[in-house]
Amino acid sequence: MTCAEAERLIDAFRDGELDARTMRLAALHLARCAACARELDRQERLGELLRESLGVGEERAADDADSEWIRAGVIGGIVAEAPRGFRLAAAAVGIRGVLLGRGGSRVAGEDDGAAVEPWLRAQPRGPSGLGVAGGLIALAAALVVAVYFGAFGPEDESERVARESPPAAAVAVRVADRALPQPSAQIPAKAPQPRLVRAEGRPAQIESVHGFGRGEVQVWAEPRERAAVIWLGTAPPGARDLEVQR
């Protein structure tokens, strides 16, 4: 795993949302790369500061049967019952603290270091037996791999999802606020996107909407509530009296 990949996965890693294999690869990388471990530390600290400054509480998981819902920031007492992937994440955090010379988060019920699975431990690096030629060959190989993945690498997941999604659906605009946003004209049934008038200065505004698949998509503004709404499917209760323009 490269630093760029690790950086992209750090948030999901923090939340224990990666699959077991990716979690393992990310944990290995974070255990060995001080720069990425520092970025993880920075992200955690930034999250704490944001929570304090914005007055947003701790993340909260639902009483949901969905096993993917793992709470973030609970490296404390419940690690023992957490899924394997999350335990690995916690272990990696512990390793990072050791590598950086700071106190890492402690894995519940176990000593730092002792809790780390053998494959996850930082490997001692002895003197390299490779000569200059070996190093150059490795660099050349890395360059070839980088060029290959740059040109033929895996497709971005968002692009793949968008490509595989069904055709766009019609969008209705419910006019809760006469001023904004409003459709500029009748919207043909097949049109995926109404032309919305931009509302400069509104605290929340919807600039464009593409709906996919069957069913209706509705958008409207609630300026008094400092909110705008995108709604999939039938109108929610309370929005019945809004005028609909298609």
- Buried residues in 128-150 as b, exposed as e (16+ CB within 10 A): eeeeeeeeeeeeeeeeeeeeeee
Dihedral (CA of 10, 16, 21, 25) sign: positive
Contact 228, 239 (CB under 8 A): no
Among the residue ranges 5-13, 85-93, 114-122, 182-190, the one whose residues contact other proteins (CB under 8 A):
5-13
Does 64 bind other proteins (CB under 8 A)? Our answer is: yes
Cβ 240 to other proteins shortest distance, Å = 9
Report the site for other proteins in 202-241 (rule: CB under 8 A): 203-213, 217, 222, 225-234, 236-239
Q: Which of 113, 91, 78 is nearest to 27 (CA)?
A: 91
Q: Distances from the Cα of 186 to the Cαs of 78, 151, 183, 192, 193, in angstroms?
A: 56, 43, 7, 12, 11
Which residue in the set 28, 36, 93, 172 belongs to the binding site for other proteins (CB under 8 A)? 36
By CB under 8 A, tell whether 73 contacts other proteins: no
Total residues at interface with other proteins (CB under 8 A):
78
Rule CB under 8 A: choose which of 19, 20, 45, 243 binds other proteins: 45
**Which residues are CB-contacts of 33 (< 8 A; sequence separation ≥ 6)?**
3, 6
Nearer to other proteins, 24 or 115 (CB): 24
Residues 6+ apart with CB under 8 A from 131: none
Query: Per rule CB under 8 A, is residue 81 in the interface with other proteins?
Result: no
- Position among 22, 41, 182, 191 found at the interface with other proteins (CB under 8 A): 41
Applying the rule CB under 8 A, the residues between 109 and 168 that interact with other proteins are 139, 142-143, 158, 161-162, 164-166
**Among 35-43, 78-86, 87-95, 121-129, which window interacts with other proteins (CB under 8 A)?**
35-43
21, 24, 26, 54: which one binds other proteins (CB under 8 A): 54
Contacting residues for 6 by C-beta, under 8 A, at least 6 apart: 26, 29, 30, 33, 36
Minimum CB distance to other proteins smaller for 101 or for 127:
101
